[in-house]
């Protein structure tokens, strides 16, 4: 007799309806691959009367996700409502308590409560799976937990928010300002209801926090991420960076250093010839570096109905096949609590400054950089029409601390017309 796996799906928006569509249209394929009949028994959303463009007949309806999570005819609670707290968390906890496995796409909930939820799940012998929570359709969780299990992971890098990458690449290709492209992206529905989650780097940082935990065997630490969004990236910087052979990306980087776990999500320059530099539009890319395997580059759709539902199905199929792994790749009670480390590893930096157009200004800046131990690799001065002279500097490798010391010293002089822009150049 064929086994069956009974799903209760809470959330019938973009991802939830995508999951229902795949399960309805690919029942035979899923059954052949898993030896299990994957069946939806009950669903839940806020508005029962909404036309969702998908056939829901044959499924019981619940108004309350907690009631759905506790139903006797549900083996796996599929949480696709979203939100770090509120109904998603309450219903996930109720499902675990009722002895159900959980599949979710909710990066916010995992970034904020991942450790507690993992401990709760594992103490009861349950699973929480979340392939769709990071980089949409790209199977990066599987790659890290399974494909690279024999490696010490040395670094995780990624462009993990398609909306930000769309904005930055569109600014460059169309020569538009940040404000103009933001309005355009908003109009096209590319941004979250709270756009700060996208452009403030928060959504991408949630994903980085989850990947760091799996990569380095550490407890999820969202608050330890150095975070800066793309709101201050100007079209001037994009143009100047391009002139010098770079692209600006909202880049997530995580690595273990002698001082702890370094995690940052901020605009960085990458060589325009690199795979990350050539990533255009809303696509995501995650680069994983392992001591044995070297560098792996994963690229694909980071959001959208099909790609995200595809990732949810990967988790559901694993449960159907009885693949049972700890939440973050190793038991939650063995994950180390690390202290966050500010970027200590040296890197070259891009500096843009507007100098007052007076004799000795440039020499003063060079001296202050030198005093802080920052040496200049390349410098460009641009033509100007007013009282200020735009200057670009690419430094040799230096620490952020040394650079901040130089910038603080410049602040006390009369040669700067505005606050300098300093962006890290990441070697990728
Ligand atoms: N969209 C993507 O491309 C994408 C990619 C990766 C990960 N994710 C993650 O996937 C999750 C779902 O995203 P989505 O884009 O599908 O969201 P969405 O389109 O806004 O859908 C959310 C669904 O949850 C339901 N819901 C919200 N609060 C509820 C409550 N209190 N009780 C019952 N149902 C409730 C809504 O019901 P109504 O329809 O009745 O309002 C809606 O059906 C989020 O965690 C998101 O971060 C999304």
Concatenated DSSP letters of 328-348: TSS-GGGPBP--B----S-B-
Residue 1 clears pLDDT 70, i.e. is over it: no
C-alpha angle 297-428-327 in degrees, rounded to nearest 5? 50
Q: Ligand 1, closest atom to CA 15?
A: 16
Residue 418 clears pLDDT 90, i.e. is over it: no
**What is the model's pLDDT at position 188?**
87
**What is the model's pLDDT at position 289?**
97
Residue 382 clears pLDDT 90, i.e. is over it: no
d(CA 348, CA 395): 5
Higher pLDDT, 249 or 282: 249
Residue 344 clears pLDDT 80, i.e. is over it: no
pTM value surpassing 0.85:
yes
Q: Give distance in angstroms: CA of 425 to centre of ligand 1.
A: 36
Ligand 1 site, CB within 6 A: 10-16, 44-47, 50, 65, 80-82, 87, 105-107, 132, 136, 303-304, 308
Residue 422 clears pLDDT 60, i.e. is over it: yes
Q: Give distance in angstroms: CA of 161 to centre of ligand 1.
A: 17
Shortest-distance Cα residue to atom 18 of ligand 1 = 13
**What is the model's pLDDT at position 237?**
95
d(CA 114, CA 170): 34
Residue 386 clears pLDDT 90, i.e. is over it: no
What residues have CB less than 8 Å from 90, skipping those under 6 apart? 65, 66
Residue 385 clears pLDDT 80, i.e. is over it: no
Shortest-distance Cα residue to atom 33 of ligand 1 = 45
Q: Give distance in angstroms: CA of 216 to centre of ligand 1.
A: 30
**What is the model's pLDDT at position 86?**
96
Helix (H, G, I), strand (E, B) or coil at 247: strand
Q: Give distance in angstroms: CA of 128 to centre of ligand 1.
A: 18
Does the active-site annotation cover 100? no
Identify the H or E element spanning 141: helix 140-142
Residue 384 clears pLDDT 80, i.e. is over it: no
Over residues 3-32, the mean pLDDT reads: 97
Over residues 304-326, the mean pLDDT reads: 97
**What is the model's pLDDT at position 2?**
75
Q: Which of 89, 142, 207, 249 is catalytic?
A: 207
Tens digit of each residue's pLDDT (9 = 90 or more) over 216-257: 999 999 999 999 999 999 999 999 999 999 999 999 999 988
283-290 and 294-301: which strand pairing? antiparallel
Identify the H or E element spanning 261: strand 260-271
Tens digit of each residue's pLDDT (9 = 90 or more) over 169-218: 999 999 999 999 999 999 988 888 899 999 999 999 999 999 999 999 99
Tens digit of each residue's pLDDT (9 = 90 or more) over 105-160: 999 999 999 999 999 999 999 999 999 999 999 999 999 999 999 999 999 999 99
DSSP-H helix ranges across 46-124:
65-70, 87-97, 107-123
What residues have CB less than 8 Å from 355, skipping those under 6 apart? 361, 362, 365, 388, 389, 390, 391, 415, 416, 417
Confidence grade of residue 388 (pLDDT, cut at 50, 70, 90): confident
Token pair, residue 285, equals: 């890319």
């Amino acid at each position: 007799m064929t086994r069956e796996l009974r799903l209760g799906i809470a959330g019938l928006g973009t991802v939830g309806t995508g999951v229902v569509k795949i399960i309805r249209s690919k029942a035979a394929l899923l059954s052949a691959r898993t030896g299990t009949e994957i069946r939806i028994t009950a669903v839940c959303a806020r508005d029962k009367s909404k036309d969702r463009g998908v056939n829901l007949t044959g499924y019981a309806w619940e108004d309350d996700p907690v009631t759905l999570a506790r139903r006797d005819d549900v083996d796996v609670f599929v949480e696709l409502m979203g939100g770090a707290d509120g109904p998603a968390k309450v219903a996930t906890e109720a499902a675990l308590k009722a002895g159900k496995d959980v599949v979710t796409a909710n990066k916010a909930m995992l970034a904020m409560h991942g450790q507690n939820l993992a401990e709760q799940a594992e103490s009861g012998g349950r699973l929480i799976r979340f392939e769709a929570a990071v980089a949409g359709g790209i199977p990066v969780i599987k790659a890290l937990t399974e494909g690279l299990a024999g490696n010490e992971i040395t670094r995780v890098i990624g462009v993990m928010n398609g909306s930000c990458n769309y904005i930055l690449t569109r600014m460059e290709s169309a020569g538009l300002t940040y404000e103009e492209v933001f309005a355009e992206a908003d109009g096209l529905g590319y941004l979250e209801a709270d756009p700060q989650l996208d452009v403030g780097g928060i959504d991408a940082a949630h994903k980085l926090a989850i990947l760091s935990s799996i990569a380095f065997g550490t407890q999820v630490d969202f608050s330890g991420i150095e975070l800066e969004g793309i709101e201050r990236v100007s079209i001037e910087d994009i143009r100047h960076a391009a002139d010098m052979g770079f692209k600006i990306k909202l880049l997530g980087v995580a690595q273990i250093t002698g001082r702890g776990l370094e995690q940052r999500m901020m605009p960085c320059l990458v060589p325009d010839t690199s795979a990350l530099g050539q990533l255009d539009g809303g696509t995501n890319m995650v680069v994983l570096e392992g001591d044995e395997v070297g560098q792996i580059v994963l690229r694909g759709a980071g959001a959208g109905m099909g790609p995200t539902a595809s990732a949810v199905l990967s988790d559901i199929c694993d449960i159907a096949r009885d693949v049972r792994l700890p939440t973050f790749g190793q038991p939650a009670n063995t994950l180390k609590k690390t202290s966050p480390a500010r970027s200590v590893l040296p890197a070259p930096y891009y500096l843009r400054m507007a100098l007052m157009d007076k004799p000795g200004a440039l020499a003063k800046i060079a001296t202050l950089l030198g005093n802080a131990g920052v040496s200049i690799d390349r410098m460009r001065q641009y033509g100007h029409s007013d009282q200020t002279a735009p200057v670009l500097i690419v430094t040799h490798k230096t620490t952020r601390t040394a650079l901040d010391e130089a910038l603080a010293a410049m602040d006390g002089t009369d040669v700067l017309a505005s606050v300098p822009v300093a962006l890290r150049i990441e070697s990728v």
